[in-house]
Structure 1
Amino acid sequence: MKKEKVIVIGAGLCGLYTAFLLQKKGIEVLILEANTRIGGRIKTITGTTAVTMEMGATWFGNQHRHLLEVLHILELPYFRQHTKGISLFETMSFVPPQKFEISDSKEPSFRIVGGTATLIEKLVSEIGLQHIKTQTKIIAIKEQNNQLIVTDSSGSSYSADKVISTIPPNLLVNSVIFEPKLPDNFTQLAKKTHTWMGESIKFAVEYKTPFWKQNNYSGTLFSQASIIQEMYDHSTADNSGFALKGFLNGGTAVLSFEERKEKVIAQLTTFFGPEASDYVAYYESVWREEPLTFQPYEQLVLAHQNNGHSLFKTPLLNEKLYVSGAETANQNPGYMDGAIFAAKTIASQF
């Protein structure tokens, strides 16, 4: 019997895990990825000191049971986020930050040993690189002779019995032409669906030593007044590499890289002393500038708006097109756990 051919659009966590599950069922899968790299919103970079820093998905907790199950299956170790020491909370720029300590009894957050990208690398090795095609941006999907014809920006076409899109719904309906057209209620819903990470500016500052820990600071910082809104220690699991990492005020997307960097170092120096200015390198990712992830909304869309909506559960184009991805999960949408849950939900229908 001929294997059912399935095309998965997007080589992020959801796309990869979907392919992994379908292959286990003996289904032939081809993953098409627009970017030059694999991983989607999982983006681990490595500094000159070999410290790994997450510019995308990072943390998870005990409540994320779908992700924990996958880490167990793939035998990927994880470790508890460092929070010991003095943490800071700045309410106003002209008032010294409040100091507090995070209790050990608080529900822990975890990170994957070696960086979140180890999860991507493991899935790629299981699926086989030959089943993943990068630099393949899909621009059209057409129903023809009981198949779907998928066309990329270079003009190449691929046919499949079924297609699973795992890219953000708003990006999908704004970047792909469908024939016949998708139902209007679906298109309007997709345009009003929040793209997780879209508004985020993630940053990391690499250091030779964890001076903050040596001075009894946790590295945790919250601010309502400065460029860094949220920050945590980002040392490696074996304490061989050191960095501070977090989120910048989304409004600073209008500033240049150098302007943001200058403000970040100034804030860290104010809070942690002159040692903070002796850094190895500064890194950042402005996710709204990633056109293969983020499509600007036509109107105001709130965080998590329409994530997990029931309309995403219905296949389109005579049940040949499935819309998946972290945004479609009705459990922990937007998070890595949601991406895994969405993959399991779709794979169960094949």
Structure 2
Amino acid sequence: MQSAGRDKTGTGDFSLNNKFTIIIGGGLSGLYAAKALEQRNEAFVLLEAKASFGGRIIGKPSLTNPDLAFDLGPTWFWPHQSKMQSLLTELNIEWFEQYTAGDVLYQTDAQTAPHRTYGAGTMPAYRVKGGMSKIIDKLLAKIPSAKLKAGHSVHKITRNGNRWQVYAKTPDTENLMIEGTKLMVALPPRILVKYLTPENWLSQGVVERLKNEQTWMSAQAKFIALYKDPFWRKAGLSGQVYSRVGPMVEIHDACGDINDNPAIFGFIGIPATQRVGISHKQMKQACLQQLIQVFGPQATDIEAAYLMDWSMDEYVATAKDLSEQPRHARYLIDKLKNELTAVNAYLIGSEFGQTDAGYLEGALSAVDSSIAICFPGISN
């Protein structure tokens, strides 16, 4: 067993540091927390099980624009979400309003043309110029790479006196143990339960509550098609489609910029339990056929098509997530605060946000509220 006290992770002699923080999870929450600690010169290491960072923020690259990745995870944020706007401003990232100019289509059956209704009429939503992955890239640039450990899958956590002991597998499948005084978990509730042995360090009542809280977007699947020409816009359409036919039940304009990099994306309505019997190739073909039915033969000429089924991601979805109807995160971290802070544990995943839980804003909210308790005086 390697010991972090011997500097096997390249982040310093942790065992001699009385204020060392271990962050688990390298999505938006974890990286946002790491940025705050780095700005305050607090000692920390971040462990991420996957080979890359970003969590549920994933983008597929444009074929023509190296500065653009099309979102297959979260796509929007909204005008009331001030933390997102503040972060983007700090990171010097631009955003723009979701395209809704033009009419909406309603597809009620596959044999007849969709019904066209004047005006999209949806509430304003914003998208990040270049894709949500820009946020991850900019956060990574603010954190020393030696403190970021991708491919380090945590499989056990224990308490030893007033210190945390975190056990992980390295990318070389070696065993690693890291000790720290503070623990920040940037994971959804059920993923925490699945991998981090909370029965070792939380009460049974808290563990049961964690088990009952669904991971936002865990059962979703998204399809995106890239085009050379935004033909729907030229036809006076917003790109919005609502369908009773499927496989996509909701479709939107996904152009990578205000007027460039044409694309359409949709949410697949087939339940995750039924998608198991459908191959990626079959699903992509069905989605493309639906676009042709809705928008006409011009939709045939795609440059690329991508499908992301989040229900297949072991670090996002659990069997219980897939058996339930989707619902928004509803977890109230305040009810657990006393037990957690007593042992210097902080749950900072998006589902623990005091506002907008499950969304990007919720991730920032969860981190900010925990940082205020864990490190008084740090402003994120």
Smaller-chain TM-score bracket? over 0.9
Corresponding residue of 1:100 = 117
Question: Which of 187, 202, 211 is residue 207 of structure 2 equivalent to?
Answer: 187
Q: Judge conservation of contact 2:216–2:351 (CA < 8 Å) in 1.
A: yes
Corresponding residue of 2:159 = 143
Shift of 1:79: 0.7
Matches within 5 A, 1:257-336: 257-297=280-320, 300=324, 302-316=326-340, 318-336=342-360
Q: Judge conservation of contact 1:196–1:303 (CA < 8 Å) in 2.
A: yes
Determine whether 1:52 maps to 2:69. Answer: yes
Q: Judge conservation of contact 1:312–1:323 (CA < 8 Å) in 2.
A: no
Is the alpha carbon distance of 1:250 and 1:185 closer, same or farther for their aligned partners in structure 2, counting shifts above 3 Å?
Answer: farther
Shift of 1:139: 0.4
Q: Deviations over 1:153-200 (max 9, x none)?
A: 342111111111011110111222247342111111111101011011
Can you give the 5+ residue segments of structure 1 that lack an aligned partner in the other structure?
A: none
Q: Deviations over 1:282-317 (max 9, x none)?
A: 101100101022222187465125333533434538
Is the alpha carbon distance of 1:226 and 1:238 closer, same or farther for their aligned partners in structure 2, counting shifts above 3 Å?
Answer: closer
Determine whether 1:253 maps to 2:269. Answer: no
Structure 2 CA distance for aligned equivalents of residues 86 and 181 of structure 1: 54
Is the alpha carbon distance of 1:295 and 1:79 closer, same or farther for their aligned partners in structure 2, counting shifts above 3 Å?
Answer: same
Q: Deviations over 1:195-253 (max 9, x none)?
A: 01101101101112112112222211111221111111111225331111121114252
Determine whether 1:76 maps to 2:93. Answer: yes
Q: Judge conservation of contact 1:327–1:333 (CA < 8 Å) in 2.
A: yes
Determine whether 1:223 maps to 2:247. Answer: no
Counterpart of 2:207, as a letter, is: T
Question: Which of 182, 185, 192 is residue 165 of structure 1 equivalent to?
Answer: 185
Shift of 1:12: 0.6
Corresponding residue of 2:4 = none
Matches within 5 A, 1:20-31: 20-31=35-46
Is the alpha carbon distance of 1:315 and 1:24 closer, same or farther for their aligned partners in structure 2, counting shifts above 3 Å?
Answer: farther
Structure 1 CA distance for aligned equivalents of residues 358 and 287 of structure 2: 27
For the aligned residue pairs, the C-alpha RMSD in angstroms reads 2.1
Question: Which of 121, 126, 147 is residue 110 of structure 1 equivalent to?
Answer: 126
Is the alpha carbon distance of 1:272 and 1:179 closer, same or farther for their aligned partners in structure 2, counting shifts above 3 Å?
Answer: closer
Corresponding residue of 1:91 = 108
Structure 2 CA distance for aligned equivalents of residues 296 and 189 of structure 1: 16
- How many residues of Structure 1 are paired with residues of Structure 2 in the alignment? 349
Is the alpha carbon distance of 1:300 and 1:184 closer, same or farther for their aligned partners in structure 2, counting shifts above 3 Å?
Answer: farther
Determine whether 1:9 maps to 2:18. Answer: no
Query: Percent identity between the aligned chains?
Result: 27
Structure 1 CA distance for aligned equivalents of residues 120 and 297 of structure 2: 28
Shift of 1:70: 1.1
Q: Deviations over 1:61-80 (max 9, x none)?
A: 11111111111222211011
- 3-state secondary structure, aligned to 2:116: strand
Q: Judge conservation of contact 1:312–1:328 (CA < 8 Å) in 2.
A: no
Shift of 1:92: 3.9
Structure 1 CA distance for aligned equivalents of residues 287 and 28 of structure 2: 30
Structure 2 CA distance for aligned equivalents of residues 93 and 311 of structure 1: 49
Determine whether 1:37 maps to 2:52. Answer: yes
TM-score (norm. length: structure 1): 0.93
Q: Judge conservation of contact 1:86–1:101 (CA < 8 Å) in 2.
A: yes
Is the alpha carbon distance of 1:315 and 1:202 closer, same or farther for their aligned partners in structure 2, counting shifts above 3 Å?
Answer: farther
Question: Which of 223, 231, 235 is residue 211 of structure 1 equivalent to?
Answer: 231
- 3-state secondary structure, aligned to 1:60: coil
Determine whether 1:120 maps to 2:136. Answer: yes
Shift of 1:133: 0.4
Structure 1 CA distance for aligned equivalents of residues 325 and 175 of structure 2: 33
- 3-state secondary structure, aligned to 2:288: helix
